[in-house]
Amino acid sequence: MASKWAGRVFAMVCVAASAQGGFKPGDKVKVWVSADYYDGTVVQAGSGDHAGQYLIHFDKFSNDQWALARNVAARAGGGGTTTAAAPATAGPDAAPRAGDYACVLGGGSAGSQAWRLELQPGKYQQHKPDLASGQWKYDAAGKRLEFTSGPYAGRWIGLFSAAGHRHKVLLRPADRPANAKPGYADVLCGNG
């Protein structure tokens, strides 16, 4: 059960950030994690690196975790002013959503995170290791991210796919055909 929960928490942390307010420490909330809500209590409202998040103590689990505000909803009689719906599912024409994408090398194991890619509208930045930010644009017809400036420009293309509320970007060397089978040089980045 612990490893199953850890995967859900990881997915929750990787969901795109969206600042909503209204909760304070002690408020009883429910938190959207993967495909269901879990009951918890707000411990702290985030700031700095955790802006737009709440530290949640979950009723059924011993460790506290940060949750994005968009995934936190008030429980009946729990206080707070924000209510959240389950994240919308992505249709076949969806564009990559803003937020953090955990990136894993194509030849690595499922647990070998290479880095974190932050996508914002028209802007990207790689974290851990941190690189300079750059610009990107989305080609909806080709379901492809084109990196127009910064460290990925001319080096990578991003092939986008969406399944439910999970968004994926397959980073592929720019000199490799987009329709080639996934290989060891590819990097899979997931969000949601």
Q: Are residues 7 and 58 in the same domain?
A: yes
Q: Are residues 33 and 105 in the same domain?
A: no
Average pLDDT on 13-30 reads 62
Residue 77 is predicted with a pLDDT of 61
**pLDDT tens by residue, 160-175:** 988 767 788 999 999 9
Instruction: Give this prediction's pTM.
Output: 0.52
Q: Are residues 69 and 117 in the same domain?
A: no
Q: Do residues 44 and 52 touch, judged by C-beta distance below 8 A?
A: no
Q: Does 94 fall in a domain? A: no
- Is the model's pLDDT at 20 over the cut of 70? no
- Is the model's pLDDT at 109 over the cut of 90? no
CATH number at residue 110: 2.40.128
Q: Does 82 fall in a domain? A: no
Q: Do residues 136 and 122 touch, judged by C-beta distance below 8 A?
A: yes
Residue 79 is predicted with a pLDDT of 54
Based on the structure, what is the number of domains in the chain? 2
Per the structure, the complete domain to which residue 125 belongs is given by 99-191
- Is the model's pLDDT at 145 over the cut of 80? yes
Which of these, 42, 51, 48, lies nearest to 80 by C-alpha position? 42
Q: Does 81 fall in a domain? A: no
Domain end position, chosen among 59, 74, 89? 74
**pLDDT tens by residue, 27-59:** 998 887 755 678 889 999 888 888 888 888 888
Q: Does 147 fall in a domain? A: yes
Q: Are residues 104 and 152 in the same domain?
A: yes
Q: Does 80 fall in a domain? A: no
HEC sequence for 135-149: EEEEECCCCEEEECC
CATH number at residue 36: 2.30.30.140
